[in-house]
Chains A and B, each alone.
Chain A
Amino acid sequence: MKAFDVVVAKDANEALALLAAHGARAKLLAGGTDLLVDLKSAAQVPDVVVDISRATDLAGIELTEHGLRIGALATHTAVMRSPLIQEYFPALVDASHTVGAVQTRNLGTLAGNLITCVPSMDGGPPLLALEAIVTLALSAGRREVPLGEFFVGPRKTVLKPDEMLLDIVIPRKNLGKPTAFLKFGLRKGQALALVNVAASAWIDPKRQVFVEPRIALGAVAPTVIRARQAEAWLEGRPATPESMAEAGRIAAGEAKPISDFRASAGYRRDLIQVLTARALAQAAAQAASKRKETSR
Protein backbone atom coordinates (compact mmCIF):
# COMPACT_ATOMS: atom_id res chain seq x y z
CA MET A 1 0.00 0.00 0.00
CA LYS A 2 1.12 3.55 -0.67
CA ALA A 3 1.78 5.58 2.45
CA PHE A 4 -0.98 7.48 4.23
CA ASP A 5 -1.56 8.87 7.71
CA VAL A 6 -4.04 7.34 10.12
CA VAL A 7 -5.87 9.51 12.62
CA VAL A 8 -8.15 7.89 15.17
CA ALA A 9 -11.46 9.64 15.77
CA LYS A 10 -13.02 8.63 19.07
CA ASP A 11 -16.50 9.89 18.19
CA ALA A 12 -18.57 11.26 15.31
CA ASN A 13 -17.77 14.90 16.12
CA GLU A 14 -14.03 14.29 15.93
CA ALA A 15 -14.49 12.45 12.65
CA LEU A 16 -16.59 15.27 11.20
CA ALA A 17 -14.01 17.88 12.23
CA LEU A 18 -11.28 15.85 10.53
CA LEU A 19 -13.39 15.46 7.40
CA ALA A 20 -14.08 19.20 7.38
CA ALA A 21 -10.36 19.90 7.63
CA HIS A 22 -9.22 17.42 4.99
CA GLY A 23 -12.23 17.14 2.65
CA ALA A 24 -11.68 14.88 -0.33
CA ARG A 25 -8.12 14.09 0.85
CA ALA A 26 -9.52 12.05 3.73
CA LYS A 27 -11.30 8.70 3.83
CA LEU A 28 -13.23 7.12 6.68
CA LEU A 29 -12.19 3.66 7.86
CA ALA A 30 -14.85 1.62 9.66
CA GLY A 31 -14.88 -2.11 8.86
CA GLY A 32 -12.19 -1.73 6.22
CA THR A 33 -13.26 -4.75 4.19
CA ASP A 34 -13.83 -2.58 1.11
CA LEU A 35 -11.57 0.39 1.86
CA LEU A 36 -8.37 -1.57 2.47
CA VAL A 37 -8.94 -3.67 -0.66
CA ASP A 38 -9.39 -0.45 -2.66
CA LEU A 39 -6.34 1.22 -1.11
CA LYS A 40 -4.09 -1.74 -1.88
CA SER A 41 -4.68 -1.37 -5.61
CA ALA A 42 -5.23 2.39 -5.75
CA ALA A 43 -2.94 4.57 -7.84
CA GLN A 44 -3.66 7.39 -5.41
CA VAL A 45 -4.40 6.96 -1.74
CA PRO A 46 -5.93 9.59 0.56
CA ASP A 47 -3.56 11.71 2.64
CA VAL A 48 -5.42 10.81 5.80
CA VAL A 49 -7.42 7.78 6.79
CA VAL A 50 -9.77 8.68 9.63
CA ASP A 51 -10.20 5.55 11.71
CA ILE A 52 -13.70 5.56 13.22
CA SER A 53 -13.69 1.84 13.95
CA ARG A 54 -13.69 2.45 17.70
CA ALA A 55 -16.03 5.49 17.83
CA THR A 56 -18.42 4.23 20.48
CA ASP A 57 -21.26 6.65 19.66
CA LEU A 58 -21.53 5.17 16.16
CA ALA A 59 -22.02 1.60 17.34
CA GLY A 60 -25.15 -0.01 18.66
CA ILE A 61 -28.54 -1.23 17.51
CA GLU A 62 -31.47 0.14 19.48
CA LEU A 63 -35.13 1.11 19.46
CA THR A 64 -35.76 4.85 19.48
CA GLU A 65 -38.90 6.97 19.14
CA HIS A 66 -38.26 7.00 15.37
CA GLY A 67 -37.85 3.28 14.93
CA LEU A 68 -34.98 0.83 14.89
CA ARG A 69 -31.63 2.61 14.79
CA ILE A 70 -28.64 0.73 13.39
CA GLY A 71 -25.42 2.62 14.10
CA ALA A 72 -22.90 3.13 11.30
CA LEU A 73 -20.45 0.75 12.96
CA ALA A 74 -22.85 -2.17 13.41
CA THR A 75 -21.15 -5.10 11.72
CA HIS A 76 -22.97 -7.82 9.82
CA THR A 77 -22.23 -10.12 12.77
CA ALA A 78 -23.75 -7.57 15.17
CA VAL A 79 -26.84 -7.38 12.97
CA MET A 80 -27.15 -11.18 12.95
CA ARG A 81 -26.82 -11.36 16.74
CA SER A 82 -29.04 -8.43 17.67
CA PRO A 83 -32.11 -9.68 19.58
CA LEU A 84 -34.05 -6.66 18.27
CA ILE A 85 -33.27 -7.44 14.64
CA GLN A 86 -33.94 -11.15 15.19
CA GLU A 87 -37.35 -10.23 16.60
CA TYR A 88 -38.46 -7.49 14.22
CA PHE A 89 -36.49 -8.02 11.00
CA PRO A 90 -35.26 -11.59 10.51
CA ALA A 91 -34.85 -10.76 6.79
CA LEU A 92 -31.97 -8.48 7.77
CA VAL A 93 -30.33 -11.38 9.62
CA ASP A 94 -30.67 -13.48 6.46
CA ALA A 95 -29.18 -10.73 4.30
CA SER A 96 -26.20 -10.06 6.58
CA HIS A 97 -25.62 -13.81 6.82
CA THR A 98 -25.08 -14.04 3.06
CA VAL A 99 -22.46 -11.27 3.00
CA GLY A 100 -18.90 -12.56 2.55
CA ALA A 101 -17.85 -15.02 5.25
CA VAL A 102 -17.46 -14.98 9.04
CA GLN A 103 -14.17 -13.05 8.96
CA THR A 104 -15.50 -10.27 6.72
CA ARG A 105 -18.85 -10.17 8.56
CA ASN A 106 -16.98 -9.67 11.85
CA LEU A 107 -15.29 -6.58 10.38
CA GLY A 108 -17.59 -5.21 7.70
CA THR A 109 -20.52 -2.96 8.57
CA LEU A 110 -24.05 -2.84 7.18
CA ALA A 111 -23.62 0.92 6.62
CA GLY A 112 -20.40 0.27 4.69
CA ASN A 113 -22.29 -2.17 2.49
CA LEU A 114 -24.65 0.69 1.54
CA ILE A 115 -21.87 3.26 1.10
CA THR A 116 -19.70 1.07 -1.17
CA CYS A 117 -22.90 0.82 -3.21
CA VAL A 118 -22.23 -2.09 -5.52
CA PRO A 119 -25.46 -3.12 -7.28
CA SER A 120 -25.28 -6.64 -5.79
CA MET A 121 -25.09 -5.49 -2.15
CA ASP A 122 -27.09 -7.76 0.13
CA GLY A 123 -27.85 -5.17 2.81
CA GLY A 124 -29.68 -2.86 0.40
CA PRO A 125 -32.79 -4.79 -0.66
CA PRO A 126 -34.26 -5.56 2.79
CA LEU A 127 -33.53 -2.03 4.04
CA LEU A 128 -35.10 -0.54 0.91
CA ALA A 129 -38.15 -2.80 1.22
CA LEU A 130 -38.47 -1.55 4.81
CA GLU A 131 -38.19 2.09 3.69
CA ALA A 132 -35.08 2.76 5.77
CA ILE A 133 -33.75 6.27 6.17
CA VAL A 134 -30.08 7.13 6.53
CA THR A 135 -28.85 10.01 8.68
CA LEU A 136 -25.96 11.89 7.06
CA ALA A 137 -23.89 14.51 8.83
CA LEU A 138 -21.54 17.32 7.91
CA SER A 139 -19.78 19.31 10.60
CA ALA A 140 -22.37 22.00 9.77
CA GLY A 141 -25.50 19.89 10.22
CA ARG A 142 -27.48 16.78 9.47
CA ARG A 143 -29.89 15.54 6.84
CA GLU A 144 -32.10 12.50 6.59
CA VAL A 145 -32.23 10.75 3.24
CA PRO A 146 -34.57 7.93 2.24
CA LEU A 147 -32.39 5.00 1.22
CA GLY A 148 -33.79 4.99 -2.33
CA GLU A 149 -32.42 8.50 -2.82
CA PHE A 150 -29.08 7.65 -1.22
CA PHE A 151 -28.00 5.36 -4.07
CA VAL A 152 -26.85 7.18 -7.21
CA GLY A 153 -25.10 4.54 -9.32
CA PRO A 154 -22.55 1.75 -9.11
CA ARG A 155 -20.17 2.75 -6.29
CA LYS A 156 -21.79 6.17 -6.08
CA THR A 157 -24.02 7.66 -3.39
CA VAL A 158 -25.14 11.17 -2.46
CA LEU A 159 -22.50 11.30 0.33
CA LYS A 160 -20.30 14.38 -0.01
CA PRO A 161 -16.54 14.01 0.58
CA ASP A 162 -16.75 15.64 4.00
CA GLU A 163 -20.02 13.98 4.97
CA MET A 164 -20.52 10.78 6.94
CA LEU A 165 -23.32 8.33 7.57
CA LEU A 166 -24.31 8.23 11.25
CA ASP A 167 -27.05 5.63 11.30
CA ILE A 168 -29.71 3.70 9.43
CA VAL A 169 -33.27 3.98 10.77
CA ILE A 170 -36.11 1.65 9.93
CA PRO A 171 -39.25 3.69 10.63
CA ARG A 172 -41.38 2.71 13.58
CA LYS A 173 -44.43 2.06 11.36
CA ASN A 174 -42.55 -0.86 9.82
CA LEU A 175 -41.46 -2.54 13.08
CA GLY A 176 -42.21 -6.21 12.69
CA LYS A 177 -43.47 -5.84 9.11
CA PRO A 178 -43.28 -9.30 7.51
CA THR A 179 -40.23 -9.25 5.24
CA ALA A 180 -38.26 -11.85 3.34
CA PHE A 181 -34.85 -11.74 1.66
CA LEU A 182 -33.71 -14.20 -0.98
CA LYS A 183 -30.43 -14.34 -2.82
CA PHE A 184 -29.29 -16.44 -5.71
CA GLY A 185 -25.53 -16.78 -6.13
CA LEU A 186 -23.29 -19.26 -7.91
CA ARG A 187 -22.19 -20.84 -4.60
CA LYS A 188 -23.61 -21.06 -1.10
CA GLY A 189 -20.63 -19.36 0.52
CA GLN A 190 -18.84 -16.10 -0.29
CA ALA A 191 -20.69 -15.44 -3.53
CA LEU A 192 -22.03 -12.22 -4.97
CA ALA A 193 -25.72 -12.21 -5.84
CA LEU A 194 -26.78 -12.87 -9.43
CA VAL A 195 -30.07 -11.49 -8.18
CA ASN A 196 -31.28 -10.70 -4.68
CA VAL A 197 -34.79 -9.73 -3.73
CA ALA A 198 -36.50 -8.46 -0.62
CA ALA A 199 -40.25 -8.16 -0.17
CA SER A 200 -42.15 -6.68 2.74
CA ALA A 201 -45.92 -6.59 3.13
CA TRP A 202 -48.72 -6.45 5.63
CA ILE A 203 -51.65 -8.74 5.02
CA ASP A 204 -55.13 -7.46 5.87
CA PRO A 205 -56.37 -10.21 8.20
CA LYS A 206 -60.03 -9.93 7.19
CA ARG A 207 -59.73 -9.58 3.44
CA GLN A 208 -56.44 -11.51 3.05
CA VAL A 209 -55.06 -8.87 0.69
CA PHE A 210 -51.63 -7.22 0.41
CA VAL A 211 -51.24 -3.89 2.16
CA GLU A 212 -48.21 -1.69 1.44
CA PRO A 213 -46.23 -4.35 -0.42
CA ARG A 214 -42.66 -3.24 -1.06
CA ILE A 215 -40.31 -5.07 -3.42
CA ALA A 216 -36.60 -4.30 -3.75
CA LEU A 217 -34.28 -5.87 -6.32
CA GLY A 218 -30.49 -6.08 -6.27
CA ALA A 219 -27.88 -6.80 -8.97
CA VAL A 220 -30.33 -6.08 -11.79
CA ALA A 221 -29.88 -2.33 -12.29
CA PRO A 222 -27.16 0.29 -11.66
CA THR A 223 -28.34 0.46 -8.04
CA VAL A 224 -30.69 -1.53 -5.83
CA ILE A 225 -34.18 -0.53 -7.00
CA ARG A 226 -37.81 -0.73 -5.92
CA ALA A 227 -40.20 -2.52 -8.26
CA ARG A 228 -42.86 0.16 -7.95
CA GLN A 229 -45.16 -1.03 -10.74
CA ALA A 230 -45.31 -4.49 -9.19
CA GLU A 231 -45.97 -2.93 -5.77
CA ALA A 232 -48.79 -0.74 -7.15
CA TRP A 233 -50.36 -3.69 -8.95
CA LEU A 234 -50.20 -5.85 -5.83
CA GLU A 235 -51.71 -3.30 -3.43
CA GLY A 236 -55.10 -4.61 -2.30
CA ARG A 237 -54.81 -7.85 -4.31
CA PRO A 238 -55.42 -11.19 -2.61
CA ALA A 239 -52.37 -12.99 -1.18
CA THR A 240 -52.58 -15.90 -3.62
CA PRO A 241 -49.87 -17.71 -5.59
CA GLU A 242 -51.35 -16.28 -8.80
CA SER A 243 -51.08 -12.65 -7.69
CA MET A 244 -47.54 -13.20 -6.36
CA ALA A 245 -46.49 -14.77 -9.65
CA GLU A 246 -47.94 -11.85 -11.59
CA ALA A 247 -46.11 -9.38 -9.32
CA GLY A 248 -42.92 -11.31 -10.11
CA ARG A 249 -43.58 -10.98 -13.84
CA ILE A 250 -44.16 -7.23 -13.52
CA ALA A 251 -41.01 -6.81 -11.37
CA ALA A 252 -38.91 -8.67 -13.94
CA GLY A 253 -40.10 -6.19 -16.57
CA GLU A 254 -39.10 -3.22 -14.42
CA ALA A 255 -35.49 -4.32 -13.91
CA LYS A 256 -32.61 -3.60 -16.27
CA PRO A 257 -30.34 -6.60 -15.81
CA ILE A 258 -27.12 -6.95 -17.78
CA SER A 259 -25.36 -9.99 -19.17
CA ASP A 260 -21.94 -10.63 -17.70
CA PHE A 261 -19.65 -13.55 -16.90
CA ARG A 262 -21.90 -14.57 -14.00
CA ALA A 263 -25.23 -14.78 -15.82
CA SER A 264 -27.18 -13.55 -18.83
CA ALA A 265 -29.79 -10.81 -18.62
CA GLY A 266 -32.50 -13.29 -19.56
CA TYR A 267 -31.50 -15.68 -16.79
CA ARG A 268 -31.50 -12.81 -14.31
CA ARG A 269 -35.04 -11.82 -15.42
CA ASP A 270 -36.23 -15.37 -14.80
CA LEU A 271 -34.61 -15.25 -11.37
CA ILE A 272 -36.30 -11.95 -10.49
CA GLN A 273 -39.69 -13.39 -11.39
CA VAL A 274 -39.23 -16.54 -9.31
CA LEU A 275 -37.49 -14.92 -6.32
CA THR A 276 -40.00 -12.05 -6.11
CA ALA A 277 -42.93 -14.47 -5.99
CA ARG A 278 -41.14 -16.61 -3.38
CA ALA A 279 -40.19 -13.61 -1.23
CA LEU A 280 -43.80 -12.39 -1.27
CA ALA A 281 -45.00 -15.88 -0.33
CA GLN A 282 -42.55 -15.99 2.58
CA ALA A 283 -43.63 -12.56 3.79
CA ALA A 284 -47.28 -13.66 3.60
CA ALA A 285 -46.46 -16.85 5.49
CA GLN A 286 -44.73 -14.79 8.22
CA ALA A 287 -47.84 -12.60 8.49
CA ALA A 288 -50.01 -15.71 8.88
CA SER A 289 -47.80 -17.27 11.56
CA LYS A 290 -47.63 -13.99 13.48
CA ARG A 291 -51.42 -13.85 13.49
CA LYS A 292 -51.58 -17.35 14.89
CA GLU A 293 -49.17 -16.42 17.66
CA THR A 294 -51.14 -13.35 18.68
CA SER A 295 -54.51 -15.12 18.61
CA ARG A 296 -53.23 -17.93 20.77
Chain B
Amino acid sequence: MSSISMRVNGEMRTATVAPETTLLRFLREQLNLTGAKLGCDVGDCGACTVIVDGMAVNACLMLADQADGRDVLTIEGLATRDQLHPLQQAFEIHAALQCGFCGPGVIMSAKALLDETPDPTVQEINDALAGNLCRCTGYTKMVAAIQDVARSRGAGTVKLPAPGNSGRA
Protein backbone atom coordinates (compact mmCIF):
# COMPACT_ATOMS: atom_id res chain seq x y z
CA MET B 1 0.00 0.00 0.00
CA SER B 2 1.11 3.55 -0.68
CA SER B 3 0.66 6.36 1.76
CA ILE B 4 -0.21 9.55 -0.08
CA SER B 5 -1.00 13.09 0.85
CA MET B 6 -2.19 15.84 -1.46
CA ARG B 7 -4.15 19.05 -1.46
CA VAL B 8 -7.61 18.42 -2.91
CA ASN B 9 -9.81 21.48 -3.49
CA GLY B 10 -7.70 23.42 -1.03
CA GLU B 11 -7.78 20.84 1.76
CA MET B 12 -4.93 18.49 2.72
CA ARG B 13 -5.99 14.86 2.35
CA THR B 14 -3.96 11.90 3.50
CA ALA B 15 -4.80 8.32 2.62
CA THR B 16 -3.51 4.84 2.01
CA VAL B 17 -4.17 3.38 -1.42
CA ALA B 18 -3.31 0.26 -3.36
CA PRO B 19 -0.44 1.27 -5.68
CA GLU B 20 -2.41 0.57 -8.86
CA THR B 21 -5.22 2.95 -7.86
CA THR B 22 -5.76 5.71 -10.40
CA LEU B 23 -6.23 9.27 -9.24
CA LEU B 24 -9.79 9.05 -10.59
CA ARG B 25 -10.72 6.00 -8.50
CA PHE B 26 -9.08 7.56 -5.47
CA LEU B 27 -11.12 10.75 -5.83
CA ARG B 28 -14.38 8.96 -6.52
CA GLU B 29 -14.17 5.95 -4.25
CA GLN B 30 -12.09 7.13 -1.29
CA LEU B 31 -12.82 10.83 -1.16
CA ASN B 32 -16.39 10.46 -2.50
CA LEU B 33 -15.73 13.23 -5.00
CA THR B 34 -17.84 11.80 -7.80
CA GLY B 35 -17.88 14.91 -10.00
CA ALA B 36 -15.07 13.60 -12.19
CA LYS B 37 -16.66 10.76 -14.16
CA LEU B 38 -15.40 7.35 -15.14
CA GLY B 39 -16.09 7.33 -18.88
CA CYS B 40 -13.76 5.53 -21.25
CA ASP B 41 -11.00 4.98 -18.66
CA VAL B 42 -8.35 5.24 -21.41
CA GLY B 43 -7.87 8.99 -21.83
CA ASP B 44 -10.11 9.57 -24.84
CA CYS B 45 -13.33 11.06 -23.44
CA GLY B 46 -12.14 13.63 -20.90
CA ALA B 47 -15.04 13.03 -18.49
CA CYS B 48 -12.47 12.53 -15.72
CA THR B 49 -10.62 15.82 -16.34
CA VAL B 50 -9.23 17.43 -13.19
CA ILE B 51 -6.56 20.10 -12.71
CA VAL B 52 -3.27 19.01 -11.15
CA ASP B 53 -0.75 21.75 -10.38
CA GLY B 54 -2.56 24.05 -12.79
CA MET B 55 -2.72 21.59 -15.69
CA ALA B 56 -5.80 19.78 -17.00
CA VAL B 57 -5.16 16.03 -16.97
CA ASN B 58 -7.10 12.80 -17.36
CA ALA B 59 -7.45 11.51 -13.80
CA CYS B 60 -7.86 8.01 -15.27
CA LEU B 61 -4.32 8.15 -16.68
CA MET B 62 -2.57 9.12 -13.49
CA LEU B 63 -1.90 6.95 -10.46
CA ALA B 64 -3.05 8.43 -7.17
CA ASP B 65 0.53 7.88 -6.06
CA GLN B 66 1.75 10.29 -8.75
CA ALA B 67 -0.40 13.05 -7.30
CA ASP B 68 1.34 12.71 -3.94
CA GLY B 69 2.40 16.17 -2.76
CA ARG B 70 0.49 17.94 -5.52
CA ASP B 71 -2.44 20.29 -5.76
CA VAL B 72 -5.60 18.76 -7.22
CA LEU B 73 -8.70 20.70 -8.19
CA THR B 74 -11.95 18.95 -9.10
CA ILE B 75 -15.34 20.31 -10.12
CA GLU B 76 -16.38 20.17 -6.44
CA GLY B 77 -13.78 22.85 -5.72
CA LEU B 78 -15.36 25.52 -7.93
CA ALA B 79 -18.66 26.55 -6.38
CA THR B 80 -19.03 27.98 -2.91
CA ARG B 81 -22.03 27.33 -0.70
CA ASP B 82 -23.58 30.58 -1.89
CA GLN B 83 -22.52 30.86 -5.47
CA LEU B 84 -21.73 28.82 -8.52
CA HIS B 85 -18.43 29.45 -10.30
CA PRO B 86 -18.83 31.87 -13.24
CA LEU B 87 -18.26 29.00 -15.67
CA GLN B 88 -21.01 26.98 -14.01
CA GLN B 89 -23.32 29.99 -14.12
CA ALA B 90 -22.59 30.57 -17.79
CA PHE B 91 -23.14 26.91 -18.66
CA GLU B 92 -26.50 27.08 -16.90
CA ILE B 93 -27.57 30.31 -18.60
CA HIS B 94 -26.59 29.01 -22.04
CA ALA B 95 -28.11 25.57 -21.39
CA ALA B 96 -24.74 24.25 -22.47
CA LEU B 97 -25.31 20.81 -20.96
CA GLN B 98 -28.08 18.32 -21.54
CA CYS B 99 -27.26 14.99 -19.92
CA GLY B 100 -24.33 16.60 -18.13
CA PHE B 101 -22.04 13.58 -17.99
CA CYS B 102 -19.24 15.37 -19.80
CA GLY B 103 -19.89 18.62 -17.91
CA PRO B 104 -17.45 18.42 -15.00
CA GLY B 105 -14.63 17.54 -17.39
CA VAL B 106 -15.57 20.24 -19.89
CA ILE B 107 -15.76 22.89 -17.18
CA MET B 108 -12.40 21.89 -15.70
CA SER B 109 -10.82 22.04 -19.18
CA ALA B 110 -12.40 25.47 -19.67
CA LYS B 111 -11.10 26.64 -16.30
CA ALA B 112 -7.56 25.49 -17.07
CA LEU B 113 -7.78 27.35 -20.39
CA LEU B 114 -9.08 30.61 -18.90
CA ASP B 115 -6.54 30.52 -16.08
CA GLU B 116 -3.78 30.72 -18.68
CA THR B 117 -5.50 32.44 -21.58
CA PRO B 118 -8.02 34.93 -20.17
CA ASP B 119 -9.32 35.97 -23.59
CA PRO B 120 -9.18 32.92 -25.85
CA THR B 121 -10.15 32.77 -29.52
CA VAL B 122 -12.80 30.28 -30.65
CA GLN B 123 -10.00 28.19 -32.08
CA GLU B 124 -8.22 28.15 -28.73
CA ILE B 125 -11.45 27.12 -26.99
CA ASN B 126 -12.01 24.34 -29.53
CA ASP B 127 -8.46 23.16 -28.99
CA ALA B 128 -8.94 23.16 -25.22
CA LEU B 129 -12.13 21.09 -25.51
CA ALA B 130 -10.84 18.62 -28.13
CA GLY B 131 -10.21 16.08 -25.39
CA ASN B 132 -13.72 16.35 -23.93
CA LEU B 133 -16.30 14.36 -25.83
CA CYS B 134 -19.88 15.61 -25.66
CA ARG B 135 -22.33 13.42 -27.50
CA CYS B 136 -25.61 15.21 -26.85
CA THR B 137 -25.51 18.99 -26.52
CA GLY B 138 -22.68 19.72 -28.91
CA TYR B 139 -20.07 22.39 -28.49
CA THR B 140 -21.64 25.60 -29.80
CA LYS B 141 -23.30 26.57 -26.52
CA MET B 142 -20.27 25.57 -24.49
CA VAL B 143 -18.04 27.81 -26.59
CA ALA B 144 -20.51 30.69 -26.20
CA ALA B 145 -20.62 30.15 -22.43
CA ILE B 146 -16.83 30.16 -22.16
CA GLN B 147 -16.61 33.31 -24.28
CA ASP B 148 -19.12 35.01 -21.98
CA VAL B 149 -17.04 34.21 -18.94
CA ALA B 150 -13.92 35.48 -20.66
CA ARG B 151 -15.68 38.77 -21.53
CA SER B 152 -17.08 39.32 -18.05
CA ARG B 153 -13.94 38.35 -16.13
CA GLY B 154 -13.28 40.60 -13.21
CA ALA B 155 -16.95 41.34 -12.71
CA GLY B 156 -17.22 38.29 -10.45
CA THR B 157 -20.38 36.96 -12.00
CA VAL B 158 -21.64 36.47 -15.51
CA LYS B 159 -23.67 39.51 -16.48
CA LEU B 160 -26.46 38.04 -18.50
CA PRO B 161 -30.21 38.23 -17.98
CA ALA B 162 -30.88 35.10 -15.95
CA PRO B 163 -33.85 33.07 -17.12
CA GLY B 164 -36.57 32.40 -14.56
CA ASN B 165 -36.04 29.69 -11.96
CA SER B 166 -32.40 29.32 -12.82
CA GLY B 167 -31.11 30.54 -9.48
CA ARG B 168 -29.81 27.81 -7.28
CA ALA B 169 -28.12 28.16 -3.93
Partner-B contacts on A (CB < 8 A): 1-6, 8, 29, 32-33, 36-37, 39-40, 45, 49, 51, 53-54, 77, 100-104, 106-107, 188-190
Instruction: Give the CA-CA distance A65 to B79 in the complex, in Å.
Output: 51
Evaluate contact between B66 and A53: CB separation under 8 angstroms: yes
Contact digits for B114-128, partner A, Cβ 8 Å, 1 yes 0 no: 000000000000111
Instruction: Give the CA-CA distance A2 to B18 in the complex, in Å.
Output: 10
Mind listing 25 A-B residue pairs with CB under 8 Å?
A1-B20, A2-B20, A3-B19, A3-B20, A4-B20, A6-B63, A29-B63, A29-B66, A32-B63, A33-B61, A36-B61, A36-B63, A37-B61, A40-B42, A49-B19, A51-B66, A100-B43, A100-B131, A102-B127, A103-B46, A103-B61, A103-B109, A104-B61, A106-B55, A189-B130
| Chain B 30-47 residues near chain A, CB threshold 8 A | 41-44, 46
Partner-A contacts on B (CB < 8 A): 2, 18-20, 22, 41-44, 46, 49, 55-58, 60-63, 65-66, 109, 112-113, 126-128, 130-132
Evaluate contact between B66 and A32: CB separation under 8 angstroms: yes
Evaluate contact between B63 and A103: CB separation under 8 angstroms: no
Residues of the B chain whose Cβ atoms lie less than 8 Å from the Cβ of A4: 19-20
Taking a contact as CB atoms closer than 8 A, the residue among A6, A8, A45, A102 that contacts B128 in the complex is A102
Instruction: Give the CA-CA distance A228 to B63 in the complex, in Å.
Output: 42
Taking a contact as CB atoms closer than 8 A, the residue among A33, A45, A49, A103 that contacts B49 in the complex is A103
Closest A residue, CB atoms, query B112: A102
Closest B residue, CB atoms, query A187: B130
**Closest CB of chain B to A248's CB: distance in Å?**
29
Instruction: Give the CA-CA distance A8 to B18 in the complex, in Å.
Output: 15
Question: Assuming the A-B contacts A40-B41, A104-B58, A107-B58, are A51 and B131 also in contact, with contact meaning beta carbons closer than 8 angstroms in the complex?
Answer: no
Taking a contact as CB atoms closer than 8 A, the residue among B2, B44, B62 that contacts A32 in the complex is B62
- Known contacts A1-B22, A101-B46; can you find 14 more A-B pairs with CB under 8 A? A3-B18, A3-B19, A3-B20, A4-B19, A32-B61, A32-B66, A36-B62, A40-B41, A53-B66, A103-B49, A103-B58, A107-B58, A189-B126, A190-B130
Evaluate contact between A190 and B61: CB separation under 8 angstroms: no
**Closest CB of chain A to B114's CB: distance in Å?**
13
Residues of the B chain whose Cβ atoms lie less than 8 Å from the Cβ of A54: 66
Closest A residue, CB atoms, query B60: A36
Instruction: Give the CA-CA distance A3 to B63 in the complex, in Å.
Output: 12
**Closest CB of chain A to B80's CB: distance in Å?**
26
Instruction: Give the CA-CA distance A43 to B30 in the complex, in Å.
Output: 26
Evaluate contact between A104 and B42: CB separation under 8 angstroms: no
Evaluate contact between A190 and B63: CB separation under 8 angstroms: no
Residues of the B chain whose Cβ atoms lie less than 8 Å from the Cβ of A107: 57-58, 61-62
